[in-house]
Copies of this chain bind each other. A is one copy, B any other.
Amino acid sequence: MMSLTLMAICSGTFAQNINRMELGDYERVKDRKVYHLPEIPGFVTLTADLHMHTVFSDGVVWPDFRVQEAWVEGLDVIALTDHIEVLPHKENIKGDHNTSVESASRVAEMLNIILIKGTEITHGMPPGHFNALFIKDANLLDNDDPMEQIKEAAAQGGFIFWNHPGWASQQPDTTLWWDAHTTLLEKGWLHGVEVANQHDWYPVALDWCKGKKLTVIANSDVHEPVNSTYDLSVPGSHRPMTLVFAKDRTAEGVKEALFSRRTLGFSGTQIMGSEELIHQVFYASVEVRESYYALERGGRKTLFREVVNPTDLTFILEKDGEGQMDQRIELHPHSIAVIRHGEGVELRYRLENCWSGSSEHPLVILK
């Protein structure tokens, strides 16, 4: 058959006949996932992956497939960020540094995905790799000097972040901040840092974001199909992403939110960002119901309380307060926990999977 390229969404089906039977056993269902995420007042919550590759640099898929997989996975925003410098397919690929994004724009429009023009500036350490988003012409960044490249990106109004600062190939011992990054910061050319990239996350980078007022970013940096890097059949699974709290669901809204640092990193079951945003997200996610008395096994009357998490987020709570209460509560996505507690006890817990610094977990009270 000829390629559908864009999967046939909602297509009418041909009738079968005796000489053409359908074998649907293992057919992949292609729906867009609905994300259940909390909203915080004044903003919409957008799911964004701001770092990925296509055949136009060292990825293995055609650009519009990136839109299609994002659609299936329920993302709102993607940036295609093919390398300026790493072009292993160049012998067989025609086009310039803008081609990748341009060729995906029709499908993005059709599927209502916000597609951001980006590119990756790729150097040894220092200064390492950087993504520039919302640029106008990536070809103007094709230049040997990283500082010139970044300057040009900034001149185009780009949002620039440092990629995978703890990548073992570039920072084998530990995750260090270099003088070059101070320079970039001082020039106003550095706006964010990836605290999580693919399967890694870099706790110290969260401290940098806090101390230097940089935006928290988490991305997949995927080169293969996403479902080849992540096993998306695992319940609750997802690629690493940045949660963006935007004024509206537009590219402009995303840009404003990124420059305003209204983001959280979300990788695996971990959530990274400011204490304030984590608090807002937690309290907007979790419903704590009225306590009630019932007999425990053994016959002792105890207070029980349901804690409801109807979102796609996970919250792991460890007891932080005084008094009788359960030690650990795992609020998996779309689940309810029943907890036990003593009378008059303040249910104070530490969010073990949420990070407001390299060793800081926000506290919450279940009331």
User: Which residues of B sit under 8 angstroms from A58, Cβ to Cβ?
Assistant: 2-3, 5
Interface-facing stretch out of A152-160, A181-189, A327-335: A327-335
Chain A contact residues: helix, strand, loop or mixed: loop
Q: Closest B residue to A296 by CB, please name it.
A: B110
Proximity string of chain A (99-115) to chain B, C-beta cutoff 8 Å, 1 when within and 0 when not: 10001001001111000
**Residue pair B309, A227 in contact (C-beta under 8 Å):** no
**Residue pair A227, B230 in contact (C-beta under 8 Å):** no
Is A260 positioned at the interface, with any CB of B under 8 Å from its CB? no
**Chain A, range 1-26, C-beta contacts under 8 Å to B:** 1-7, 9-14, 17-26
User: Which residues of B sit under 8 angstroms from A167, Cβ to Cβ?
Assistant: 1
Given contacts A69-B228, A294-B109, contact A20 B335 (CB under 8 A): no
Is A362 positioned at the interface, with any CB of B under 8 Å from its CB? no
Interface-facing stretch out of A90-98, A137-145, A275-283: A90-98
**Residue pair A6, B227 in contact (C-beta under 8 Å):** no
**Residue pair A238, B26 in contact (C-beta under 8 Å):** yes
Q: Which of B13, B36, B168, B230 contacts A327 (CB 8 A)?
A: B13
**Residue pair A338, B10 in contact (C-beta under 8 Å):** yes
Is A345 positioned at the interface, with any CB of B under 8 Å from its CB? no
**Residue pair A32, B230 in contact (C-beta under 8 Å):** no
User: Which residues of B sit under 8 angstroms from A294, Cβ to Cβ?
Assistant: 106, 109-110
User: Which residues of B sit under 8 angstroms from A89, Cβ to Cβ?
Assistant: 62
Q: Which of B175, B270, B309 contacts A34 (CB 8 A)?
A: B309
